[in-house]
Amino acid sequence: MTAEPLAAHAAYLERLKERGRLRALQPRGGVDFSSNDYLGLSSSGLLAEAARDALARGVSIGSGGSRLLRGNDAEHEALEAEAAALFGTEAALFFSSGFAANATLLSTLPQRGDVILHDALVHASAHEGMRMCHAKRQSIRHNDVQAYADALAKLRTAGGRGTPWIVVESLYSMDGDRAPLTELAALAEQYGAMLIVDEAHATGLFGAQGRGLAAALDGRADVITLRTFGKALGCEGAILCGPQLMKDFLVNRGRGFIFSTAPSPLVAAIARQALAIMASADDRREALWKRVEVAEARLAPLGVSATGSQIIPVMIGDDSRAMEIAGQLQQAGFDIRAVRPPTVPEGTSRLRLSVTLNASLEDIEALTECLAKVFT
């Protein structure tokens, strides 16, 4: 009798189900407390207008090939030039997603003999890139500057001549806390390291013109930043900003760039408009931070700690309990999701409460009232 070829896969999924960790796709429904559409741009109409304008002037929907073949479009180049000018870097390179950008960057730039020092909580896309590269890698305790300093000093004392790569997120997507970027940039300069900063959840929200938490570091020869368009900017894609040498090397050696169909020129045109909106969206940022302030105040009596950001984890601990509470809130009309291991560390299952302009102040008050009832 022939064995079922996917029997092991079925057994794995059954084990996940028994542990309360089986994932399934779930449609949108209720008030948005789970998306990354922080500034409410994805459905604002502003980007729809940009799409209509782009189509009217003949921008293509599909690219037709990789950018090294016929896929390179004037919209890609315009977006990269405008992003580099806005963020103050020599160059920028556009990708179809933040995952593709991170994976390509970290699978390509670090070389054999180099060492990657990454924050323990850095995104899965960074791990995917590191898994494919020839450099050694070491996990560093979350936001522990001294641990980075000790690892770098040990590397140099042992005679290591390769380039150290420090890999962090400026704002962590599950905890809502910030990386110590000033201190890490100083270490990069001291030890001849490259600092890679994923600004996915900070772009559009922090700093002048929404340029992010790493804006003061842009333009340095030892810093590369990643900005995504699919979160606060409301559309799709991501862009790496850094030295011209970064771009040239990725165009020549980055397999995730070379062998991938180029992103849609239409999406690039929309992303250009999203950047322009971001730069003048102080009113939206002000409205968002007012919502964050209200959410923090209403959650404090429930023992939920403020993060100073739009991402507020409501820690539950137990996987099944987190799913149960999320389900109750969803039935009450609030789209909030439970996050379980391995996305977060064992024993830290949580509700990831995301504050966006898609929820009003009244919605926030209603959610916290419902959460208080669930907790009692």
Q: Which residues are catalytic?
A: 36, 123, 169, 173, 198, 201, 231
Long-range pairs, 68-75, Cβ under 8 A, ≥24: 68/251, 68/258, 71/261, 71/262, 72/262, 73/262, 73/265, 73/268, 74/265, 75/265, 75/266, 75/268, 75/269, 75/272
- Select from 212, 216, 194 the least CA-distant residue to 202: 212
Q: Tell me, rounded to whole angstroms, the distance of Cα 131 from its chain centroid.
A: 19
User: Quick one: 5 exposed, middle or buried, by C-beta within 10 A (0-12, 13-18, 19+)?
Assistant: exposed
Instruction: Measure the CA angle with vertex 196, ends 84 and 113; round to 5°.
Output: 125
DSSP code per residue over 73-137: -HHHHHHHHHHHHHHT-SEEEEES-HHHHHHHHHHHSS-TT-EEEEETT--HHHHHHHHHSSSEE
Q: Tell me the residue type at 250.
A: L
Instruction: With H, G, I as helix, E, B as strand and everything else as coil, classify residue 258.
Output: helix
Whole-number Å distance between alpha carbons of 355 and 104: 30
Token reading at 159: 């005679």
DSSP string of 31-74? EESS-S-TTS-TTSSHHHHHHHHHHHTT--S---S-TTTT---H
In the chain the first and final C-alpha atoms are separated, in Å, by 55
- Is-contact 225 179, C-beta < 8 A? no
Residue in the structure block whose two tokens are 């004392």? 157
Q: How far is C-alpha 249 from the chain's CA centre?
A: 23
Q: What DSSP designation does 349 have?
A: E
